[in-house]
Structure formats: structure tokens, C-alpha cells
């Protein structure tokens, strides 16, 4: 094997499909992009409510060894993703709400598969059954178009299940007609490529691919960054080895759009782009190599998740503040105080906080927009009611059912 071929194999990990220049620049863009994406995480190690799944999928498709339970950063991010989902289940056991119905749940099931978790036994909850129920109820809420429906089909396929014909028919009955344009066509192609061996699928894939190609722009893109990333994923999902020039032009346009720091216009756009830069699509989630582990004994069944409820009181009466508020939060057993605060912030827009890391753990920087102030010698004191001060950081304290935790702005 020649030097160029060896270098290409080293950079991309599979048979080289592009010239060396394209391979080098996309590889560099991918590395910069991942660093930027990770830097965009909040102090709770996620990207915001219901945004973790897409980012986690992108990171695993760029590097399927990114997540390991032993790696603190990735483990914290996946934990945040799981908490996001568990918090929703605690309120809506069937996730029968417009925020989670169908497409969003499909994204989270795909992300669980990407991180080697079992969506049919997610802390005792069978998310596959819940998702299938959503699909049987299609159309409903915002789950009423094929873009979202494709995520659900992908979830079942990537989880290793045989997707029922009735679910596939929703994506094949009107080939070439896409309410949301290239985005919907691309997601449809990606989903159908995962079930390409089932009946009447190939012609629908061809119609979707042709729609995408018909919407190619003169500069080689397919629209904005988000759309172009999805379009390239679809062309890769259809056939990794064909249309190389078209894919190359689109990838180079995406590289040109990248900021010097690896950024794109949004995290949402980056999540679609990074798998494409690695010549992967969402249809590859089910074959992530780090999750392909053969075991000779059945995996232990996870006991059903149980939840507990406690209160968080916020008091700030030092001038000029006048805050006295109380919040109730429900979280899975074993959650730390920090976990609970993140869940509360994500589910109640009336509660806000920021935190910072130190060698002593996580400390609270601000609550309700009121920051601790070294110059004024103020800080947020934490205590269990009536007045037992916490002796550990918020990530090391584990509240119990019925407890009241008080945060009070105090002086020292």
C-alpha cells in the first residue's frame, strides 16, 4: 500500500473515497468542530433541554470511542441526557406531550443505542413500546410529518428490530413529495436506507435522492449548513461509493463555512455536519463498533426507575434583593442536589442557576440571576431545613424524599 493510501486509511478509517486534499481538510474540520461542540456544553455538561441526543449521536458517529463510562466528561454528558429523559418520564410516563412525542423520542432512542444503552430497558422503561405507540397514533401533535417520523423508523432499525411494514409504508407511499423540502427528503432517505432490504423501499430511496440532487445549488451546497449536512448524510446512506464529486463539493462548502474555532451557525447545524464530515449517517448508529459486544450470558435486567420529590427554597433578602421562592422537583432515586437543580432548571423556566467547578466539587455561582459577590462578601449558603448547613458540594449531596433544601444569600 502506498503512502497516500496508508495516510488516507489512517485519517478516515475506511477505504479512501476522496482525494488526499479533501480528506485532510475534512479531517481537520472534524477535529476542530468536535472541540468547539464540546466547548459549547453548559455547566451541567449538556447543551440545553432536549438537545443532548443529537449532539451525542454526532460525537459518536465522528468517534465511536468518544463515550466510555470511565471517561468523566462524556459520562457526565450522557448522564445529563439520561436525566433529561427520566425527568420527562416522571411527569409523562408515556411521553404523550408535544415536546417528546415521536420524533424527539426517536432521537433519544437513537442516542441511547449510540451509547450502548438498551432502549427497551431504560431504567425499567420500555422506550421501544412507547415509541411504537406514538407511531401507531401518527399523526398527532407535532408528530405529523415524515421528517419526525423518519427519526422513529431509524430508532427501531438502529435498535436492531424488524421494522413493521405499516411503519415503512408511511415513508414510501408518496415518494418525491416532501413538505419540508430537502431536510425531509434527506431524513427519509437515511431512514429508508436502514431498512433498504424490505419491500418497496429502493424506489422511494431513489425518489428521495433525486429530489436532493435536483435541489443542488451552483456552489455545491444544498441550502444552508443544516440542510447541506443532512443532504450529504443521505447521499452517504444511499451509497458511500457513488456521486463522489457531488459529495466532495458539498463537504468543501461546509468546511468553508466553518469558523476558525471550529464553529458553525448553531449547535443544531453542527450536529448534522460532523457525521457527514466523517462519511457517516444516522443510519450507521446501529453498527457503531464499540457497542458490538458479544456476550454469553444475558444482561441483567435494570429495575424500574423510582422517583422522589423534595423542595428547593431560594431566599435572598440582603439589600437590594427581595426573593423568597419555593420549588418542587421530582428526580430519579440516586440523584445529587446538582442533578435535581439541573432538572428543575430544564423543566421550570422560573428557576435559574449557574455553577462552577473546583477541586472541591461544584459550587453555586448564582441563583435567580443573583450572583455571589466576593467584593460584597456574599455567597449562596445551602442548608437542609430548618438550618443544617451542607458540608459537601452540591454534586456530592444526595437529597431524600420530602426534604427541603434552602439556598440563602448570606454574608461572610
CA dist list (Å): 188 to 145, 176, 322: 11, 10, 53
**12 in Cβ contact with 23 (< 8 Å):** yes
- C-alpha triplet 242, 244, 247: angle, nearest 5°: 115
Could you give the angle at which helices 244-257 and 225-238 cross, rounded to 10 degrees?
A: 150
Report the relative pairing of strands 307-316 and 323-332 from DSSP bridges: antiparallel
Picking from 301, 275, 332, 293, the residue whose alpha carbon sits closest to that of residue 116 is 293
Distance CA 75, CA 29 (A): 25
Q: Is 390 annotated as a binding residue?
A: yes
User: Can you say whether residue 223 is alpha, beta or left, with left for phi > 0 and alpha for psi between -120 and 50 degrees?
Assistant: left
Distance CA 213, CA 207 (A): 10
Q: Is 98 annotated as a binding residue?
A: no
Q: Is 272 annotated as a binding residue?
A: yes
Report CA Rg, the chain. Answer: 23
- Binding residues for cyanocob(III)alamin, as ranges, are 183, 224, 272, 390
- Binding residues, as ranges, are 183, 224, 272, 390
Amino acid at each position: 500500500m502506498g503512502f497516500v493510501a496508508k495516510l488516507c486509511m489512517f485519517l478516515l478509517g475506511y477505504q479512501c473515497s476522496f482525494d488526499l486534499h479533501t480528506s485532510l481538510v475534512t479531517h481537520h474540520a472534524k477535529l476542530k468542530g468536535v472541540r468547539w461542540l464540546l466547548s459549547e456544553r453548559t455547566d451541567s455538561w449538556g447543551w440545553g433541554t432536549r438537545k443532548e441526543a443529537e449532539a451525542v449521536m454526532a460525537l459518536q458517529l465522528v468517534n465511536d470511542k468518544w463515550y466510555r463510562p470511565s471517561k468523566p466528561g462524556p459520562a457526565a454528558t450522557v448522564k445529563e441526557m439520561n436525566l433529561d429523559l427520566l425527568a420527562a418520564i416522571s411527569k409523562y410516563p408515556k411521553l404523550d406531550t408535544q415536546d417528546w412525542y415521536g420524533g424527539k423520542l426517536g432521537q433519544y432512542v437513537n442516542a441511547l443505542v449510540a451509547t450502548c444503552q438498551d432502549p427497551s430497558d431504560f431504567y425499567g422503561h420500555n422506550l421501544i413500546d412507547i415509541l411504537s405507540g406514538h407511531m401507531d397514533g401518527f399523526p398527532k401533535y407535532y408528530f405529523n410529518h415524515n421528517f419526525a417520523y423518519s427519526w422513529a423508523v431509524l430508532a427501531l432499525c438502529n435498535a436492531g428490530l424488524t421494522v413493521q411494514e405499516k411503519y415503512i409504508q408511511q415513508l414510501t407511499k408518496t415518494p418525491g413529495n416532501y413538505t419540508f423540502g430537502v431536510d425531509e427528503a434527506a431524513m427519509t432517505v437515511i431512514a429508508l436506507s436502514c431498512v433498504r432490504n424490505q419491500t418497496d423501499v429502493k424506489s422511494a430511496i431513489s425518489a428521495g435522492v433525486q429530489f436532493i440532487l435536483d435541489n443542488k445549488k451552483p456552489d455545491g451546497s444544498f441550502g444552508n449548513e443544516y440542510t447541506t449536512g443532512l443532504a450529504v448524510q443521505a447521499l452517504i446512506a444511499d451509497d458511500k461509493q457513488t456521486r463522489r464529486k457531488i459529495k466532495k463539493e458539498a463537504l468543501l462548502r461546509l468546511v468553508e463555512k466553518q469558523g476558525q474555532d471550529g464553529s458553525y451557525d448553531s449547535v443544531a447545524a453542527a450536529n448534522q455536519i460532523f457525521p457527514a464530515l466523517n462519511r457517516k449517517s444516522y443510519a450507521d448508529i446501529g453498527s457503531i463498533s464499540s457497542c458490538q459486544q458479544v456476550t454469553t450470558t444475558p444482561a441483567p435486567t435494570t429495575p424500574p426507575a423510582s422517583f422522589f420529590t423534595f423542595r428547593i427554597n431560594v431566599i435572598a433578602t440582603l439589600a437590594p434583593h427581595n426573593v423568597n421562592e419555593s420549588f418542587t422537583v421530582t428526580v430519579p432515586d440516586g440523584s445529587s442536589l446538582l442533578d435535581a437543580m439541573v432538572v428543575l432548571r430544564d423543566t421550570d423556566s422560573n428557576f435559574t442557576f449557574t455553577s462552577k467547578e473546583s477541586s472541591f466539587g461544584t459550587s453555586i455561582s448564582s441563583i435567580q440571576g443573583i450572583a455571589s459577590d466576593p467584593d460584597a462578601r456574599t455567597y449562596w449558603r445551602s442548608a437542609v431545613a430548618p438550618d443544617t448547613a451542607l458540608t459537601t458540594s452540591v454534586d456530592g449531596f444526595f437529597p431524600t424524599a420530602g426534604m427541603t433544601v434552602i439556598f440563602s444569600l448570606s454574608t461572610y
